[in-house]
Structure 1
Amino acid sequence: MTIITIKKGTKYYEQSEILHDIHFTLEQGERVTILGKSGSGKTTFLKILAGLVAFDSGSYEKAEVKISYISQKPVLFSHMTVLENVVFPLKCQKIARKQREAIGREFLEKSQLSKWADMYPYELSGGQQQRVSVARALISKPDLLLMDEPFSSLDVRLGREMRQWVFSQIEDLHIAAVFVTHHYEEAKIFSERILLMEKGLLTQASETEIDAFFGDGMSWEGVYYPLSDWYLASEGIPVHIESSLVLYGQRYWSVILENTGEQKFIIAGDEAVNLGEKTCIAPVRRKQDA
């Protein structure tokens, strides 16, 4: 089912065109990532999808769906405890207090925030506040989740844990999601579709454009290959395996280049290796051409 259809959407701010001739559709359960430099119009577009801002021209059709929005910075009620903040959407749905608090404590446990349930936002770190925002957005089981770099304020370990939990919730509940990020790993493991916002234009991003955006990719025998073309191999560029995970049926590898110490995120390969093991990476095309 199509839940959003936009045709020729245009938005101005102080006579400057922020979004130009946007065409966009979103299906129920579809996961879309939007890449773009700061000031390209990504956040404005998310706010329009959320109904917080309107296009100045063009058409925007939206089905009757429940929407949750996670902004870059946490926006919490300062006079409410962590638990009260998280269960606020359930209160708006007139769910009984005992029931909503039980659901809220379960979400706080998944977000590793249980021990702060009775504290107020000012007593938490910025990363903890953002985790509260994430839990509040998911607790009502929305049909559409809009995320504007929600994990950027979290440390690497916690950000990865939260990311995996959020993405699993999205998949399990068949939630449609639009995700703005500057993180290569997040874009690659999350999306069915990756779009590029540039100077107010929204277009489908090619693999080359994605890798160019993140500044990633490597040369091999005089040919430049995006990271999406590399796999674990018995010969090639020496690396050490840092971590491995499986999401949506695909295995992903985080590797450290032996000669430079750089981290690269490789999204192809099924070899059985152990963390810390020394191996190599090589372009997929080299394997296919051999």
Structure 2
Amino acid sequence: MAIIRVENVTKGFEKELILRGINFELQRGETVTILGGSGSGKTTFLKVLAGLLSFDSGSYEKAGVKIAYISQKPVLFSHMTVLENLVFPLKCQKVKRKEREAIGRVFLEKSELAKWADAYPYELSGGQQQRVSVARALIGNPDLLLMDEPFSSLDVRLGRDMRQWVFAQIEERDIAAVFVTHHYEEAKVFSEQVLLMDHGVLSEASDAAIDAFFGDGLLYNDVYYPIGAWGMADAGVAVRVERQLMLYGQAYWSVILEDGTQKFIIVGDNAIEKGYIAPVRGEKDA
């Protein structure tokens, strides 16, 4: 069942067309990732979906869904404490004070912010403020979560932990989500469908298109292959296998090339310290 449906939506600013005839449909519980360069229209599209921006033409239908939006930068109420900011959606839903505060403290623990419950936003770092924003978006039990690079301001460890927690919440609670990112691993493993926004046009992205977007590939016998087409092999480009790791449910080898570059190769054959990688699917982007 489609919970939102967008048909031929356009949006412009000062005579410049930003969204060009967008068609998009999202099913209940479906997750979609959107890639695109700066100024391509990604944030504008998310704000249209969230109802924060009007559109110029086309149609947008919503099936009575609760929508939560997480922007790149935190937007908190300066006169409210961290706990009050966090539970504000529950207050709007008429949840009693003791109950919503109890729920809020659980979310603060998950976000590693328990000791800041009574602090005000100005007392928090930018990363801490963003964690409050992320937790607040989830606490209201949305049907659709719109995320505009929400983890970009967090340090590596907290960003990884928050990603894993948020993605687990989305899966467990069957939340539909649209996720804008510039993170390679997030794009590859967050959702089954990846779309590419290019000058206001939204289209489906193949693995090769994803790799081309990130500029991540290697030359082999004078042919450029996107990194998604590479795997462990018995011959090819020599690499040092650093370790195996899990990125959101997918196993990868972290391999180091002779020039010191790190690449993530989807696990295939076993290897310990040294090995080779080579194109294994025949895909190329000449």
- Smaller-chain TM-score range? over 0.9
Q: Give SS of 1:48's match.
A: helix
Do residues 36 (structure 1) and 36 (structure 2) align?
Answer: yes
Maintained 8 Å contact 2:218/2:224? yes
Name structure 2 gaps, 5 residues minimum: none
TM-score by length of 2: 0.93
Q: 1:125 corresponds to which residue?
A: 125
Report the Cα offset of residue 258 of structure 1: 3.8
Task: Report the counterpart of residue 240 of structure 2 in structure 1.
Answer: 239
Instruction: Give CA-to-partner distance per residue, 1:233-283, whole Å, 9 cap, x none.
Output: 4544313334511535x3234x242412222232x2245567xx4444332
Q: What does residue 256 of structure 2 align with? A: 257
Rate the CA distance shift 1:235–1:17 in 2: closer, same or farther, 3 A: same
Q: What's 1:210 paired with? A: 210
Give the secondary-structure state (helix, strand or coil) at the position aligned to 1:285.
Answer: coil
Q: Quick one: distance in 2 between partners of 1:30 and 1:129?
A: 28
CA contact (8 A) 1:257 1:264 kept: yes
Give the aligned residue type for 1:8: N
Partner of 1:80: 80
- Asked whether the equivalents of residues 20 and 201 of structure 2 are also in contact (C-alpha less than 8 Å), the reply is yes
Q: Distance in 2 between matches of 1:112 and 1:106?
A: 10
Aligned letter for 2:279?
A: P
In the other structure, the counterpart of 2:281 is 285
> Could you tell me how far 1:113 is from its partner in structure 2?
1.2
Measure the CA separation in 1 of the matches of 2:274 and 2:103: 45
Task: Tell me the amino acid that sits aligned with residue 269 of structure 1.
Answer: V
Residue in structure 2 matching 1:269, options 247, 267, 274: 267
Length, aligned pairs only = 281
Tell me the SS of whatever aligns to 2:241.
strand
Query: RMSD value over aligned CA atoms?
Result: 1.7
Structure 2 contact 244–251 (Cα < 8 Å) conserved = no
Match of 1:224 in 2: 224
Aligned 8 A contact 2:189 2:247 in 1: no
Equivalent AA in structure 2 for residue 224 of structure 1: Y
| Structure 1, unpaired ranges of 5+ | none
| CA distance in structure 1 between the partners assigned to 2:262 and 2:93 by the alignment | 45
Q: What is the TM-score when the length of structure 1 is the normalising length?
A: 0.91
User: Retained in 1: the 8 A contact 2:11–2:57?
Assistant: yes
Determine the structure 2 residue equivalent to 1:179: 179
Q: Distance in 2 between matches of 1:106 and 1:243?
A: 33
Residue in structure 2 matched with residue 134 of structure 1 by the alignment? 134
Separation of aligned partners in 1, 2:200 and 2:218: 30
* Equivalent residues of 2:86, 2:104 under 8 A apart: yes
Aligned position for 2:201:
201
Identity %: 67
- Tell me whether 123-132 or 226-235 shows the greater mean CA deviation: 226-235
Rate the CA distance shift 1:280–1:213 in 2: closer, same or farther, 3 A: same
Aligned partner of 1:64: which letter?
G
Contact 1:251 1:270 in 2 (8 A): no
What is the DSSP-based 3-state SS (H/G/I as helix, E as strand, rest coil) of the residue aligned with 1:33? strand
What aligned pairs does 1:41-52 form with structure 2 within 5 A after superposition? Answer: 41-52=41-52
| Separation in structure 1 between the aligned mates of residue 109 and residue 268 of structure 2, nearest angstrom | 33
Residues 92-134 of structure 1: per-residue CA shift (max 9 Å, x gap)? 1111111111111111111111121121111111111111100
